[in-house]
Structure 1
Amino acid sequence: MTTTRRQFVGGASALAVLSGSSAALAEKKYDEGVTDAEIRIGNTNPYSGPASSYAAIARTIDTFFKSVNDAGGINGRKVKFISLDDGYSPPKTVEMVRQLVEQDKIFALFQSLGTPCNTAIHKYMNTRKVPQLYVATGASKWGDPKHFPWTMGFQPDYRTEAIIYAKHLMANVKDPKIGVLHQNDDYGRDYLDGFKEGLGKDVDRIVKIVTFEATDPTVDSQIIQLKNSGANVFFNVSGPKAAAQGIRKAADLGWQPAHYLNNVSASVAAVMKPAGYENAQGIITAAYLMDATDHQWDGNEEMKAWRAWMDKHMPQANKADANHIYGYAVAFLMTETLKRCGDTLTRANLMKQAAGFQKFRVPMLLPGITVSTSATDFYPLQAVQLQRFKGETWELFGEIMSAEST
Structure 2
Amino acid sequence: MVSFRDFQPLELAVSVSTSLVRRSAIVLAVMVGTTIHAGAGDNLNVVRDLSSRIGPVVGAAMACGDIPRPRIQSIVGRFQAVIREASNSDSDRSELVRQFDRHVADGRAAVAAGRQDCRRAELQLGNIERSIGEPAVAAGPPLASPPAPLPIAATGAILAPPVRGVTDREITFGSVLPLSGANKETGRLLKLGMEAAFNRSNDAGGIHGRALKLIAADDGYDPNRTLNAVRQLYEKDQVFGFIGNFGTATAAVAIPFSLERRVLFFSPYTGANVARHDPPDRYVFNYRPSYSEEADALVRYLVKLRRIPPRQIALFAQDDSFGDAGFAGVAKAFRALGLNDAAIVRANYVRNTVDVAPAINQLKAEKAPVRAVIMVATSRAAAKFIEKAHDALPGVIFANVSAVGASALANELMLLGPRYAAGVVVTQAVPAVAGYSSLVLEYKGALARYFPGEPADYTSLEGYIGASILVQALKAAGPQVDTERLIDTLESMRNIDLGLGAPLNFSPAEHQASHKIWGTALDESGSYQAIELE
Shift of 1:121: 2.1
CA distance 1:52–1:122, shift in 2 (3 Å):
same
Shift of 1:204: 4.7
- Residue 47 in structure 1 maps to residue 161 in structure 2: no
Q: Which residue of 2 aligns with 1:285?
A: 426
Shift of 1:71: 3.3
Once the two structures are superposed, residues 333-384 of structure 1 have per-residue CA deviations (whole angstroms, 9 ceiling, x without a partner) of 1111211111231111111222222121234x3x2x1211100111111121
Shift of 1:147: 6.2
- Residue 84 in structure 1 maps to residue 220 in structure 2: no
The answer on whether the counterparts of 1:5 and 1:30 sit within 8 Å (CA) in structure 2 is: no
Q: Which residue of 2 aligns with 1:144?
A: 277
Between structure 1 and structure 2, the one with the greater Rg is 2
Q: Distance in 2 between matches of 1:121 and 1:300?
A: 34
Q: Distance in 1 between matches of 2:350 and 2:277?
A: 27
Give the TM-score taking structure 1 as reference length.
Answer: 0.84
The answer on whether the counterparts of 2:374 and 2:399 sit within 8 Å (CA) in structure 1 is: yes
Structure 1 residue corresponding to 2:412, chosen from 274, 285, 308? 274
Alignment of 1:357-396 (within 5 A): 357-363=493-499, 365=500, 367=501, 369-391=502-524, 392-396=526-530
Once the two structures are superposed, residues 249-272 of structure 1 have per-residue CA deviations (whole angstroms, 9 ceiling, x without a partner) of 2224352223221112251x3112
Percentage of matched positions with identical amino acids: 21
Q: Which residue of 1 aligns with 2:136?
A: none
Alignment of 1:223-238 (within 5 A): 223-229=360-366, 230-238=369-377
Structure 2 residue corresponding to 1:348, chosen from 468, 475, 484? 484
Shift of 1:5: 8.7
Higher share of residues assigned helix: 2
Q: Distance in 2 between matches of 1:343 and 1:301?
A: 28
Give the TM-score taking structure 2 as reference length.
Answer: 0.65
Q: Which residue of 2 aligns with 1:310?
A: 447
Shift of 1:207: 5.2
Q: Distance in 2 between matches of 1:5 and 1:202?
A: 64
Counterpart of 2:316, as a letter, is: L
Q: Distance in 2 between matches of 1:308 and 1:121?
A: 33
- Residue 38 in structure 1 maps to residue 177 in structure 2: no
- Name which of structure 1's ranges 215-224 and 69-78 shifts more when overlaid on structure 2: 215-224
The answer on whether the counterparts of 1:145 and 1:151 sit within 8 Å (CA) in structure 2 is: no
Structure 2 residue corresponding to 1:259, chosen from 392, 398, 406? 398
Q: Distance in 1 between matches of 2:319 and 2:438?
A: 41
CA distance 1:5–1:264, shift in 2 (3 Å):
farther
The answer on whether the counterparts of 1:33 and 1:106 sit within 8 Å (CA) in structure 2 is: yes
Once the two structures are superposed, residues 88-126 of structure 1 have per-residue CA deviations (whole angstroms, 9 ceiling, x without a partner) of 111211011112222322111111111111111222211
Q: Distance in 2 between matches of 1:40 and 1:304?
A: 27
Alignment of 1:38-77 (within 5 A): 38-55=170-187, 56-77=189-210
| SS of residue paired to 1:209 | strand
Structure 2 residue corresponding to 1:214, chosen from 334, 342, 351? 351
Counterpart of 2:282, as a letter, is: P
The answer on whether the counterparts of 1:180 and 1:226 sit within 8 Å (CA) in structure 2 is: no
Q: Distance in 1 between matches of 2:388 and 2:151?
A: 60
Once the two structures are superposed, residues 118-167 of structure 1 have per-residue CA deviations (whole angstroms, 9 ceiling, x without a partner) of 11122221111111112121112323264621112221011111122222
Once the two structures are superposed, residues 53-90 of structure 1 have per-residue CA deviations (whole angstroms, 9 ceiling, x without a partner) of 21211133134323432332211011221111111111
Q: Distance in 2 between matches of 1:341 and 1:6?
A: 24
Q: Distance in 2 between matches of 1:396 and 1:134?
A: 24
| SS of residue paired to 2:171 | strand
The answer on whether the counterparts of 2:186 and 2:405 sit within 8 Å (CA) in structure 1 is: no
Structure 1 residue corresponding to 2:241, chosen from 104, 108, 116? 108
The answer on whether the counterparts of 2:429 and 2:462 sit within 8 Å (CA) in structure 1 is: no
Shift of 1:193: 0.4
Aligned-pair Cα RMSD in Å = 2.9
The answer on whether the counterparts of 1:337 and 1:354 sit within 8 Å (CA) in structure 2 is: yes
Counterpart of 2:411, as a letter, is: K
Alignment length, in residue pairs?
Answer: 377
Q: Distance in 1 between matches of 2:491 and 2:315?
A: 35
Structure 2 residue corresponding to 1:250, chosen from 382, 385, 389? 389
Q: Which has the higher contact order (CA 8 A, sep 6+)?
A: 1
The answer on whether the counterparts of 1:210 and 1:222 sit within 8 Å (CA) in structure 2 is: yes
The answer on whether the counterparts of 1:258 and 1:283 sit within 8 Å (CA) in structure 2 is: yes
Once the two structures are superposed, residues 318-337 of structure 1 have per-residue CA deviations (whole angstroms, 9 ceiling, x without a partner) of 33x32221122111111112
Counterpart of 1:362, as a letter, is: L
The answer on whether the counterparts of 2:316 and 2:376 sit within 8 Å (CA) in structure 1 is: yes
Q: Distance in 2 between matches of 1:136 and 1:329?
A: 12
Alignment of 1:157-176 (within 5 A): 157-172=290-305, 173-176=307-310
- Name which of structure 1's ranges 347-356 and 165-174 shifts more when overlaid on structure 2: 165-174
CA distance 1:329–1:360, shift in 2 (3 Å):
same
Q: Distance in 2 between matches of 1:227 and 1:389?
A: 25
CA distance 1:351–1:6, shift in 2 (3 Å):
farther
